[in-house]
Amino acid sequence: MKKRDIIFCLLGVVICIIGLVIFNLLQRPKYNSYYLQDLKLVSLNDEISKQRMNAIVLAANKVGPAVVSITVIQTRIITVSPFDDEFFRQFFGDFFPEHRYRQQIKSLGSGVIISPDGYVLTNEHVVSNATEINITLPDARQFKARIIAQDRALDLALLKIDARGLPFAELGNSDDLMIGEWVIALGNPFGFLLEDTRPTVTVGVISALNRSIKSAREERIYKDMIQTDAAINPGNSGGPLVNILGQVIGINTFILTSSGGSEGVGFARPINVVKKFITETMEYGKIRTPWIGIWVQEITPEIAEAMGTEQRGVLVSNVDPGSPASEAGVREGDRIVMANNEIINNPSVWERITSGLFVGDTLNIIFFRGRDSLSVGIVVKEFQETGVGSKLGIYVEDINLYLAKKYGLGYKEGVVVTRVEQGSISDKLGFAPGDVILKIGDKRIRNKEDFKKAISDFKNKYFIIDRGGLIFQIWL
Protein backbone atom coordinates (compact mmCIF):
# COMPACT_ATOMS: atom_id res chain seq x y z
CA MET A 1 0.00 0.00 0.00
CA LYS A 2 1.28 3.39 -0.93
CA LYS A 3 2.09 5.94 1.68
CA ARG A 4 -0.54 8.24 0.25
CA ASP A 5 -3.29 5.63 0.70
CA ILE A 6 -2.32 5.05 4.32
CA ILE A 7 -2.55 8.79 5.02
CA PHE A 8 -6.02 8.97 3.43
CA CYS A 9 -7.21 6.00 5.59
CA LEU A 10 -5.94 7.59 8.78
CA LEU A 11 -7.48 10.89 7.79
CA GLY A 12 -10.84 9.18 7.21
CA VAL A 13 -10.71 7.51 10.64
CA VAL A 14 -9.93 10.86 12.29
CA ILE A 15 -12.80 12.52 10.41
CA CYS A 16 -15.18 9.74 11.54
CA ILE A 17 -14.11 10.12 15.15
CA ILE A 18 -14.53 13.90 15.00
CA GLY A 19 -17.93 13.41 13.41
CA LEU A 20 -19.08 11.05 16.17
CA VAL A 21 -17.90 13.48 18.83
CA ILE A 22 -19.74 16.37 17.17
CA PHE A 23 -22.89 14.22 16.81
CA ASN A 24 -22.84 13.33 20.49
CA LEU A 25 -22.28 16.94 21.45
CA LEU A 26 -25.27 17.98 19.33
CA GLN A 27 -27.48 15.24 20.83
CA ARG A 28 -26.62 15.95 24.50
CA PRO A 29 -28.82 19.09 24.89
CA LYS A 30 -31.76 17.11 23.57
CA TYR A 31 -31.05 14.37 26.12
CA ASN A 32 -30.75 16.96 28.93
CA SER A 33 -34.08 18.49 27.87
CA TYR A 34 -35.82 15.16 28.35
CA TYR A 35 -34.13 14.80 31.68
CA LEU A 36 -35.29 18.25 32.81
CA GLN A 37 -38.83 17.50 31.65
CA ASP A 38 -38.83 14.36 33.77
CA LEU A 39 -37.68 16.40 36.76
CA LYS A 40 -40.46 18.94 36.15
CA LEU A 41 -43.06 16.14 35.91
CA VAL A 42 -41.94 14.62 39.21
CA SER A 43 -42.05 18.04 40.85
CA LEU A 44 -45.53 18.69 39.45
CA ASN A 45 -46.80 15.35 40.79
CA ASP A 46 -45.43 16.21 44.21
CA GLU A 47 -47.23 19.55 44.12
CA ILE A 48 -50.50 17.90 43.06
CA SER A 49 -50.12 15.36 45.87
CA LYS A 50 -49.66 18.22 48.33
CA GLN A 51 -52.81 19.88 47.00
CA ARG A 52 -54.74 16.61 47.31
CA MET A 53 -53.75 16.45 50.97
CA ASN A 54 -56.01 19.40 51.79
CA ALA A 55 -57.62 20.41 55.09
CA ILE A 56 -60.63 18.16 54.56
CA VAL A 57 -58.44 15.10 53.98
CA LEU A 58 -56.35 15.90 57.07
CA ALA A 59 -59.46 16.45 59.21
CA ALA A 60 -61.06 13.18 58.06
CA ASN A 61 -57.85 11.25 58.76
CA LYS A 62 -57.58 12.87 62.17
CA VAL A 63 -61.09 11.98 63.36
CA GLY A 64 -61.73 8.79 61.36
CA PRO A 65 -59.98 6.37 63.79
CA ALA A 66 -62.33 7.53 66.60
CA VAL A 67 -65.59 6.93 64.68
CA VAL A 68 -67.26 3.64 65.62
CA SER A 69 -70.12 1.44 64.45
CA ILE A 70 -72.81 0.65 67.02
CA THR A 71 -74.90 -2.51 66.76
CA VAL A 72 -77.86 -2.63 69.12
CA ILE A 73 -80.34 -5.31 70.08
CA GLN A 74 -83.44 -3.31 70.97
CA THR A 75 -86.79 -4.17 72.47
CA ARG A 76 -89.52 -2.18 70.81
CA ILE A 77 -93.20 -1.91 71.57
CA ILE A 78 -95.38 -3.11 68.69
CA THR A 79 -98.93 -1.73 68.59
CA VAL A 80 -101.78 -3.82 67.24
CA SER A 81 -105.17 -2.21 66.81
CA PRO A 82 -108.39 -4.20 66.34
CA PHE A 83 -109.41 -1.57 63.77
CA ASP A 84 -107.61 -0.75 60.54
CA ASP A 85 -109.86 2.21 59.84
CA GLU A 86 -109.09 5.53 61.54
CA PHE A 87 -112.83 6.25 61.93
CA PHE A 88 -113.42 3.15 64.04
CA ARG A 89 -110.25 3.73 66.07
CA GLN A 90 -111.43 7.25 66.89
CA PHE A 91 -114.91 6.28 68.07
CA PHE A 92 -114.37 2.80 69.51
CA GLY A 93 -110.76 2.99 70.66
CA ASP A 94 -111.76 3.55 74.31
CA PHE A 95 -113.82 0.36 74.33
CA PHE A 96 -111.35 -1.73 72.32
CA PRO A 97 -107.92 -0.30 73.13
CA GLU A 98 -104.82 -1.12 71.14
CA HIS A 99 -102.72 -4.04 72.35
CA ARG A 100 -98.98 -3.74 72.54
CA TYR A 101 -96.28 -6.40 72.75
CA ARG A 102 -92.50 -6.34 72.90
CA GLN A 103 -90.30 -7.48 70.02
CA GLN A 104 -86.51 -7.67 69.78
CA ILE A 105 -84.93 -6.13 66.70
CA LYS A 106 -81.41 -5.29 65.55
CA SER A 107 -80.52 -1.72 64.68
CA LEU A 108 -77.37 0.12 63.64
CA GLY A 109 -75.87 3.52 64.29
CA SER A 110 -72.62 5.41 64.69
CA GLY A 111 -70.70 7.02 67.52
CA VAL A 112 -67.48 8.84 68.31
CA ILE A 113 -64.88 8.07 71.01
CA ILE A 114 -64.17 11.18 73.10
CA SER A 115 -61.57 9.85 75.56
CA PRO A 116 -58.73 7.30 75.49
CA ASP A 117 -60.42 5.27 78.25
CA GLY A 118 -63.48 4.45 76.16
CA TYR A 119 -66.26 7.03 76.54
CA VAL A 120 -68.42 7.12 73.39
CA LEU A 121 -71.02 9.68 72.28
CA THR A 122 -74.05 8.78 70.18
CA ASN A 123 -77.79 9.52 69.88
CA GLU A 124 -80.28 8.34 72.46
CA HIS A 125 -82.55 6.92 69.76
CA VAL A 126 -79.69 4.67 68.62
CA VAL A 127 -79.52 2.87 72.00
CA SER A 128 -83.01 3.38 73.47
CA ASN A 129 -84.57 0.19 74.88
CA ALA A 130 -81.28 -1.61 74.21
CA THR A 131 -80.71 -5.03 75.74
CA GLU A 132 -77.27 -5.39 74.15
CA ILE A 133 -74.83 -2.84 72.67
CA ASN A 134 -71.79 -3.82 70.60
CA ILE A 135 -69.23 -1.30 69.36
CA THR A 136 -66.87 -1.95 66.45
CA LEU A 137 -63.79 0.23 65.92
CA PRO A 138 -62.43 1.07 62.45
CA ASP A 139 -59.64 -1.47 63.03
CA ALA A 140 -62.37 -4.16 63.49
CA ARG A 141 -61.90 -4.53 67.27
CA GLN A 142 -65.19 -5.17 69.04
CA PHE A 143 -66.35 -4.29 72.56
CA LYS A 144 -69.47 -4.60 74.67
CA ALA A 145 -70.78 -1.21 75.77
CA ARG A 146 -72.95 -0.02 78.63
CA ILE A 147 -75.03 3.13 78.92
CA ILE A 148 -73.68 5.70 81.35
CA ALA A 149 -76.45 8.23 80.74
CA GLN A 150 -79.06 9.10 78.13
CA ASP A 151 -81.52 11.93 77.57
CA ARG A 152 -84.47 11.69 75.23
CA ALA A 153 -85.11 15.43 74.95
CA LEU A 154 -81.54 16.11 73.82
CA ASP A 155 -81.36 12.77 71.95
CA LEU A 156 -77.91 12.12 73.38
CA ALA A 157 -76.35 9.10 75.04
CA LEU A 158 -72.98 8.51 76.69
CA LEU A 159 -71.61 4.96 76.48
CA LYS A 160 -68.57 3.26 77.99
CA ILE A 161 -66.38 0.44 76.74
CA ASP A 162 -63.62 -1.21 78.76
CA ALA A 163 -60.45 -0.30 76.86
CA ARG A 164 -57.39 1.92 77.18
CA GLY A 165 -55.26 3.93 74.79
CA LEU A 166 -58.04 4.40 72.25
CA PRO A 167 -57.98 7.02 69.49
CA PHE A 168 -60.34 9.86 70.38
CA ALA A 169 -61.73 13.00 68.77
CA GLU A 170 -61.18 16.56 69.89
CA LEU A 171 -64.32 18.51 70.80
CA GLY A 172 -64.55 21.99 69.25
CA ASN A 173 -66.68 25.07 69.84
CA SER A 174 -70.11 25.34 68.21
CA ASP A 175 -70.69 28.94 69.32
CA ASP A 176 -68.36 30.40 66.68
CA LEU A 177 -69.73 28.51 63.66
CA MET A 178 -70.32 30.38 60.41
CA ILE A 179 -73.03 29.66 57.86
CA GLY A 180 -71.31 28.45 54.69
CA GLU A 181 -68.16 27.03 56.28
CA TRP A 182 -67.01 23.53 55.30
CA VAL A 183 -67.98 20.60 57.51
CA ILE A 184 -67.42 16.85 57.32
CA ALA A 185 -69.89 14.16 58.40
CA LEU A 186 -68.46 10.79 59.43
CA GLY A 187 -70.35 7.62 60.22
CA ASN A 188 -71.32 4.18 59.03
CA PRO A 189 -74.34 4.47 56.73
CA PHE A 190 -76.28 1.22 56.34
CA GLY A 191 -74.04 -0.47 58.90
CA PHE A 192 -71.86 -3.29 57.61
CA LEU A 193 -73.69 -3.66 54.30
CA LEU A 194 -70.64 -1.96 52.79
CA GLU A 195 -68.53 -4.79 54.30
CA ASP A 196 -66.11 -2.38 55.91
CA THR A 197 -65.69 -1.19 59.50
CA ARG A 198 -64.07 2.09 58.50
CA PRO A 199 -66.30 5.19 58.50
CA THR A 200 -67.71 6.90 55.43
CA VAL A 201 -66.80 10.57 54.87
CA THR A 202 -69.16 13.11 53.29
CA VAL A 203 -68.55 16.83 52.85
CA GLY A 204 -70.84 19.85 52.84
CA VAL A 205 -71.34 23.22 54.46
CA ILE A 206 -73.25 24.59 57.40
CA SER A 207 -76.55 25.52 55.81
CA ALA A 208 -78.16 27.22 58.83
CA LEU A 209 -77.90 27.57 62.60
CA ASN A 210 -80.40 27.58 65.49
CA ARG A 211 -82.91 25.44 63.62
CA SER A 212 -85.99 24.15 65.49
CA ILE A 213 -87.87 21.29 63.90
CA LYS A 214 -90.12 18.35 64.70
CA SER A 215 -89.03 14.89 63.67
CA ALA A 216 -91.93 13.17 61.91
CA ARG A 217 -90.67 9.65 62.59
CA GLU A 218 -90.38 9.66 66.38
CA GLU A 219 -92.44 12.70 67.39
CA ARG A 220 -89.41 14.44 68.87
CA ILE A 221 -88.99 18.20 68.90
CA TYR A 222 -85.43 19.36 68.21
CA LYS A 223 -84.34 22.90 68.99
CA ASP A 224 -81.21 24.95 68.32
CA MET A 225 -79.83 22.48 65.76
CA ILE A 226 -77.09 22.82 63.13
CA GLN A 227 -78.35 22.28 59.58
CA THR A 228 -75.94 20.86 56.98
CA ASP A 229 -76.05 19.52 53.43
CA ALA A 230 -73.30 16.97 54.12
CA ALA A 231 -74.91 13.62 53.26
CA ILE A 232 -76.31 11.85 56.34
CA ASN A 233 -77.94 8.47 55.69
CA PRO A 234 -79.51 5.76 57.87
CA GLY A 235 -76.76 4.48 60.16
CA ASN A 236 -75.00 7.87 60.33
CA SER A 237 -76.96 8.87 63.44
CA GLY A 238 -74.63 9.48 66.36
CA GLY A 239 -71.55 10.13 64.23
CA PRO A 240 -69.55 13.36 64.44
CA LEU A 241 -69.92 16.52 62.37
CA VAL A 242 -66.40 17.93 62.06
CA ASN A 243 -64.88 21.25 60.98
CA ILE A 244 -61.79 21.44 58.75
CA LEU A 245 -59.58 21.66 61.85
CA GLY A 246 -60.61 18.12 62.73
CA GLN A 247 -62.70 19.21 65.73
CA VAL A 248 -66.12 17.76 66.46
CA ILE A 249 -68.67 20.60 66.33
CA GLY A 250 -71.85 18.51 66.35
CA ILE A 251 -73.41 15.05 66.66
CA ASN A 252 -75.33 13.99 63.54
CA THR A 253 -78.91 13.32 64.59
CA PHE A 254 -81.50 13.09 61.81
CA ILE A 255 -82.46 14.14 58.28
CA LEU A 256 -85.50 15.51 56.52
CA THR A 257 -86.28 13.26 53.58
CA SER A 258 -89.14 12.15 51.37
CA SER A 259 -87.21 9.24 49.87
CA GLY A 260 -85.62 7.74 52.99
CA GLY A 261 -82.12 8.75 51.89
CA SER A 262 -80.10 11.92 52.12
CA GLU A 263 -81.55 14.93 50.32
CA GLY A 264 -79.13 17.48 51.69
CA VAL A 265 -81.12 18.53 54.75
CA GLY A 266 -79.46 17.06 57.83
CA PHE A 267 -79.32 18.20 61.43
CA ALA A 268 -76.73 17.88 64.19
CA ARG A 269 -76.78 18.64 67.91
CA PRO A 270 -74.27 21.47 68.65
CA ILE A 271 -71.21 20.22 70.52
CA ASN A 272 -71.43 22.92 73.22
CA VAL A 273 -74.79 21.45 74.29
CA VAL A 274 -73.16 18.01 74.18
CA LYS A 275 -70.34 19.23 76.46
CA LYS A 276 -72.89 20.34 79.07
CA PHE A 277 -74.61 16.96 78.72
CA ILE A 278 -71.28 15.21 79.36
CA THR A 279 -70.51 17.36 82.41
CA GLU A 280 -73.97 16.76 83.88
CA THR A 281 -73.94 13.02 83.32
CA MET A 282 -70.38 12.59 84.59
CA GLU A 283 -71.19 14.44 87.81
CA TYR A 284 -74.83 13.52 88.44
CA GLY A 285 -75.45 10.45 86.29
CA LYS A 286 -78.36 12.18 84.54
CA ILE A 287 -79.55 15.50 83.14
CA ARG A 288 -81.05 17.46 85.96
CA THR A 289 -84.34 19.10 84.97
CA PRO A 290 -83.73 22.86 84.59
CA TRP A 291 -86.31 25.17 86.17
CA ILE A 292 -86.81 28.86 85.43
CA GLY A 293 -90.48 29.25 86.29
CA ILE A 294 -91.53 31.64 83.49
CA TRP A 295 -94.46 30.98 81.18
CA VAL A 296 -94.89 33.25 78.18
CA GLN A 297 -97.38 33.93 75.42
CA GLU A 298 -97.47 35.87 72.17
CA ILE A 299 -98.41 39.55 72.29
CA THR A 300 -101.28 39.82 69.83
CA PRO A 301 -102.53 43.19 68.51
CA GLU A 302 -105.53 42.87 70.84
CA ILE A 303 -103.32 42.27 73.90
CA ALA A 304 -101.01 45.13 72.93
CA GLU A 305 -103.96 47.50 72.56
CA ALA A 306 -105.56 46.39 75.83
CA MET A 307 -102.29 46.80 77.75
CA GLY A 308 -101.29 49.99 75.95
CA THR A 309 -97.91 48.53 75.01
CA GLU A 310 -95.84 47.67 71.96
CA GLN A 311 -96.38 44.44 70.07
CA ARG A 312 -92.78 43.45 70.70
CA GLY A 313 -91.30 40.64 72.78
CA VAL A 314 -93.30 38.04 74.72
CA LEU A 315 -95.71 38.49 77.59
CA VAL A 316 -95.12 36.71 80.91
CA SER A 317 -98.39 34.88 81.49
CA ASN A 318 -97.44 33.07 84.69
CA VAL A 319 -94.55 32.77 87.17
CA ASP A 320 -94.17 29.65 89.31
CA PRO A 321 -94.20 30.47 93.04
CA GLY A 322 -90.77 30.01 94.62
CA SER A 323 -89.12 29.64 91.22
CA PRO A 324 -85.81 31.27 90.21
CA ALA A 325 -87.77 33.79 88.10
CA SER A 326 -89.97 34.69 91.06
CA GLU A 327 -86.94 35.14 93.31
CA ALA A 328 -85.33 37.36 90.64
CA GLY A 329 -88.39 39.65 90.67
CA VAL A 330 -90.09 38.72 87.39
CA ARG A 331 -93.87 39.14 87.55
CA GLU A 332 -96.90 38.21 85.52
CA GLY A 333 -97.56 40.92 82.92
CA ASP A 334 -93.89 41.76 82.30
CA ARG A 335 -92.82 41.97 78.64
CA ILE A 336 -89.52 40.23 77.84
CA VAL A 337 -87.70 41.70 74.84
CA MET A 338 -84.21 40.17 75.10
CA ALA A 339 -82.62 37.03 76.56
CA ASN A 340 -78.90 36.27 76.62
CA ASN A 341 -78.20 39.09 74.15
CA GLU A 342 -80.74 37.78 71.62
CA ILE A 343 -83.87 39.69 70.63
CA ILE A 344 -87.10 37.88 71.54
CA ASN A 345 -89.64 38.25 68.73
CA ASN A 346 -92.03 35.44 69.61
CA PRO A 347 -92.49 32.48 72.00
CA SER A 348 -90.61 30.15 69.61
CA VAL A 349 -87.39 32.14 70.01
CA TRP A 350 -87.87 32.18 73.79
CA GLU A 351 -88.40 28.41 73.90
CA ARG A 352 -85.34 27.79 71.72
CA ILE A 353 -83.11 29.83 74.02
CA THR A 354 -84.47 28.37 77.26
CA SER A 355 -84.41 24.78 75.94
CA GLY A 356 -80.60 24.94 75.80
CA LEU A 357 -80.22 25.91 79.46
CA PHE A 358 -78.83 23.57 82.10
CA VAL A 359 -78.98 23.72 85.87
CA GLY A 360 -76.50 26.34 87.05
CA ASP A 361 -76.65 28.43 83.86
CA THR A 362 -77.61 32.10 84.08
CA LEU A 363 -80.38 33.53 81.92
CA ASN A 364 -79.96 37.30 81.49
CA ILE A 365 -83.19 38.97 80.41
CA ILE A 366 -84.28 42.52 79.63
CA PHE A 367 -87.97 43.22 80.14
CA PHE A 368 -90.46 46.06 80.46
CA ARG A 369 -92.81 46.61 83.35
CA GLY A 370 -95.07 49.32 82.11
CA ARG A 371 -92.66 51.87 80.66
CA ASP A 372 -89.76 50.91 82.92
CA SER A 373 -86.94 48.84 81.44
CA LEU A 374 -85.44 46.27 83.82
CA SER A 375 -82.75 43.63 83.56
CA VAL A 376 -82.08 40.62 85.78
CA GLY A 377 -79.95 37.49 85.78
CA ILE A 378 -81.85 34.30 86.60
CA VAL A 379 -79.80 31.35 87.86
CA VAL A 380 -81.40 28.13 86.64
CA LYS A 381 -82.25 25.66 89.40
CA GLU A 382 -83.17 21.99 89.38
CA PHE A 383 -86.84 21.05 89.26
CA GLN A 384 -87.43 18.28 91.77
CA GLU A 385 -89.57 15.52 90.32
CA THR A 386 -89.95 13.03 93.13
CA GLY A 387 -93.39 11.62 92.47
CA VAL A 388 -95.07 8.62 94.04
CA GLY A 389 -93.33 5.30 93.49
CA SER A 390 -94.52 1.71 93.43
CA LYS A 391 -93.25 -1.85 93.48
CA LEU A 392 -93.38 -1.80 89.70
CA GLY A 393 -90.56 0.74 89.48
CA ILE A 394 -92.77 3.51 88.17
CA TYR A 395 -93.05 7.05 89.59
CA VAL A 396 -95.98 9.39 88.93
CA GLU A 397 -96.78 13.00 89.73
CA ASP A 398 -99.99 15.02 89.62
CA ILE A 399 -100.26 16.90 86.33
CA ASN A 400 -99.33 20.56 86.74
CA LEU A 401 -98.54 23.40 84.37
CA TYR A 402 -94.84 22.55 84.24
CA LEU A 403 -95.33 18.84 83.53
CA ALA A 404 -98.07 19.54 81.00
CA LYS A 405 -95.67 21.83 79.14
CA LYS A 406 -92.69 19.48 79.45
CA TYR A 407 -94.48 16.41 78.09
CA GLY A 408 -96.98 18.20 75.81
CA LEU A 409 -100.02 16.92 77.70
CA GLY A 410 -103.60 17.82 76.93
CA TYR A 411 -104.83 16.90 80.41
CA LYS A 412 -105.34 19.36 83.26
CA GLU A 413 -105.75 16.66 85.90
CA GLY A 414 -104.55 13.12 86.40
CA VAL A 415 -101.13 11.56 86.92
CA VAL A 416 -98.18 11.42 84.57
CA VAL A 417 -95.19 9.07 84.66
CA THR A 418 -92.08 11.08 85.57
CA ARG A 419 -89.56 8.27 86.04
CA VAL A 420 -89.17 4.57 85.26
CA GLU A 421 -86.48 2.54 87.02
CA GLN A 422 -84.20 0.81 84.54
CA GLY A 423 -84.71 -2.96 84.52
CA SER A 424 -87.92 -2.75 86.57
CA ILE A 425 -91.22 -4.41 85.72
CA SER A 426 -92.54 -1.11 84.37
CA ASP A 427 -89.45 -0.71 82.21
CA LYS A 428 -89.95 -4.19 80.78
CA LEU A 429 -93.63 -3.46 80.18
CA GLY A 430 -92.69 -0.41 78.13
CA PHE A 431 -93.74 2.49 80.37
CA ALA A 432 -92.03 5.79 79.58
CA PRO A 433 -91.88 9.28 81.15
CA GLY A 434 -94.78 11.35 79.84
CA ASP A 435 -97.31 8.50 79.87
CA VAL A 436 -100.62 9.59 81.41
CA ILE A 437 -102.23 6.79 83.44
CA LEU A 438 -105.98 6.98 82.89
CA LYS A 439 -107.12 3.78 84.58
CA ILE A 440 -105.72 0.88 86.60
CA GLY A 441 -108.14 -1.96 86.18
CA ASP A 442 -111.59 -0.42 86.46
CA LYS A 443 -110.36 2.42 88.68
CA ARG A 444 -110.18 5.91 87.16
CA ILE A 445 -106.93 7.64 88.23
CA ARG A 446 -107.33 11.37 88.92
CA ASN A 447 -104.44 12.00 91.34
CA LYS A 448 -101.53 10.39 93.20
CA GLU A 449 -103.82 9.15 95.98
CA ASP A 450 -105.94 7.23 93.45
CA PHE A 451 -102.73 5.78 92.02
CA LYS A 452 -101.43 4.62 95.42
CA LYS A 453 -104.72 2.91 96.28
CA ALA A 454 -105.05 1.20 92.91
CA ILE A 455 -101.42 0.05 92.73
CA SER A 456 -101.40 -1.47 96.23
CA ASP A 457 -102.94 -4.64 94.81
CA PHE A 458 -101.96 -5.01 91.17
CA LYS A 459 -102.68 -8.72 90.75
CA ASN A 460 -104.33 -9.52 87.41
CA LYS A 461 -104.73 -5.84 86.60
CA TYR A 462 -104.13 -3.74 83.52
CA PHE A 463 -103.33 -0.12 82.74
CA ILE A 464 -105.02 2.22 80.28
CA ILE A 465 -102.54 4.93 79.35
CA ASP A 466 -102.30 7.85 76.96
CA ARG A 467 -99.00 8.36 75.13
CA GLY A 468 -99.00 11.39 72.86
CA GLY A 469 -102.71 11.02 72.08
CA LEU A 470 -102.59 7.24 71.55
CA ILE A 471 -104.70 5.23 74.02
CA PHE A 472 -103.57 1.67 74.68
CA GLN A 473 -103.68 -1.06 77.26
CA ILE A 474 -100.86 -2.74 79.20
CA TRP A 475 -101.51 -6.00 81.01
CA LEU A 476 -99.43 -7.11 83.98
Q: What is the DSSP string of 115-175?
A: STT-EEEE-HHHHTTEEEEEEE-TTS-EEEEEEEEEETTTTEEEEEES-SS---PEE--GG
CB neighbour list of residue 463: distance below 8 Å, 6 or more residues apart: 437, 439, 440, 473, 474, 476
Beta-bridged to residue 146, according to DSSP, are 160
Which residue among 128, 155, 174, 207 is the active-site one? 155
CA 226, CA 367: separation in Å to the nearest integer? 29
CA 466, CA 424: separation in Å to the nearest integer? 20
> One-letter amino acid identity for 358?
F
Residue 117 designated active-site: no
Long-range contacts of 330-333 (CB under 8 A, 24+ apart): 330/294, 330/365, 330/367, 330/376, 330/378, 331/369, 333/307, 333/369
Burial of 391 (0-12, 13-18, 19+ CB in 10 A): exposed
Distances (CA, A) of 197 to 72, 136, 194, 292: 16, 7, 8, 45
Which residue among 69, 107, 128, 237 is the active-site one? 237
Residue 155 designated active-site: yes
Which residue among 69, 110, 125, 334 is the active-site one? 125
DSSP state of 388: B
**Which residues are identified as catalytic?**
125, 155, 237
